[in-house]
Structure 1
């Protein structure tokens, strides 16, 4: 993977974001950045504002103040589909698969600007529509093979296990050929075997395809093994950022989030 110049803007930068819900300040002048080619962890207790921050970054919420940038370009006012077109994809705490569609169909829905979406193309350009669908289907099968879900390609997505749905969420983001993926608790409800596979997939995609990741996670073993750097949030703002060892041994983090179990012996 090509080395990133220190002078290039971060792939994602959050500047002084604020978000209130009535009298509750969920995000309180939060600033952070994500460097290209990294797997950055985002941790903190429930209510720290992590998922709200994801919603602000991806256009689901509009901040009361502050800005969001990708590669130096302001994307604060973009709707979710506009952020998606910038190469930023996300997953959710609770997978949002189309349960009554097959696993394969869930993937084939993802690529934007498909010719078949315009009904007149089906009449005027049927050959082009079929050719594009074959390409998308082939890509979807390749992605399913990568996440070990090929054997479930024609199963209803709603019938998958929790862990399989998390793999499907990752597969759906890959269909968009993202530059940055925001993962919201990818290990939640996933057994250890599938979690190991998911972790290996994330590291492979970072190393071999140059995809950058920002992930929210409560499984500290996964965070400490996979992420560098780790950002800690508290009460809607960034508390600290550092190498996993720094976070692991920081007295404030140990006391507030890790319960001392990761402290030095």
Structure 2
């Protein structure tokens, strides 16, 4: 599904991603781990189009996407979340979810006068779809709440709901477990398993080793901008290079 070949991203004299190559199979949940500063988020940002590659290639479903702007990559079916969710704070949970689908007739202001029936029909369909997605992630009861009033874990679920409204094929998740209480973390993991069973592919950055080891296979390991190894979680957990280079000899 995703092919990254000898990818390099430099910022001035700093090479944040240094010749990374890997392939991502469809219908997998792949973990990406490494210490702070390993280059994980820069790799995500480069794949998602936030940064242009300095060199190397990125292909999604056989199409070169390296260097494309984020909105074109998004519309191709590859979407990402952020470690710190960024909902529209002054909008409700339902409104945040409804605004995601592209090409809505109401986005063109003249349609609100000359194509009202089309706008209303799309809005009804969008509201119904949004409620289905919010029910799936467990936020339907909060659909009328302002996003700014949600807890950190609930905002992570809202971010997942917004991603699902785009009907993606591949989701890049940036630390879905960060700042989330244990109960909501279990909920998030369960929802990811359900989505995986429906055919969605995931690449997940995460520092929570329990989440990675119980959810992901394979696991990619980065350090100093490079890919150190790739393998099943039980192999990664016991690899001396990982224990030494990333976790000071202890993989919790």
TM-score (norm 1): 0.93
Moved over 3 A (4+): 258-263
Q: 1:7 corresponds to which residue?
A: none
SS at match of 1:228: coil
* 2:71 corresponds to 1:69: no
TM-score (norm 2): 0.98
The one of 231, 248, 264 equivalent to 2:220 is 231
The one of 98, 108, 120 equivalent to 1:118 is 108
Q: 2:138 corresponds to which residue?
A: 148
- Which structure 2 residues correspond to residues 92-103 of structure 1 after superposition, within 5 A? 92-103=82-93
Provide the alpha-carbon RMSD of the alignment.
1.1
Q: 2:232 corresponds to which residue?
A: 243
Q: 2:122 corresponds to which residue?
A: 132
d(CA) in 2 for partners of 1:117 and 1:47? Answer: 40
C-alpha contact 2:130 2:165 (8 A) present in aligned 1: yes
1:112-147 CA distances to partner (integer Å, 9 max, x unpaired)? 000100112111211111011000000000111011
C-alpha contact 2:81 2:174 (8 A) present in aligned 1: yes
Give unmatched runs, 5+ long, in structure 2. none
Q: 2:38 corresponds to which residue?
A: 48
Q: 2:76 corresponds to which residue?
A: 86
d(CA) in 2 for partners of 1:71 and 1:184? Answer: 21
Give unmatched runs, 5+ long, in structure 1. 1-10
C-alpha contact 2:35 2:247 (8 A) present in aligned 1: no
Q: 1:105 corresponds to which residue?
A: 95
The one of 164, 167, 174 equivalent to 2:157 is 167
Shift of 1:260: 4.2
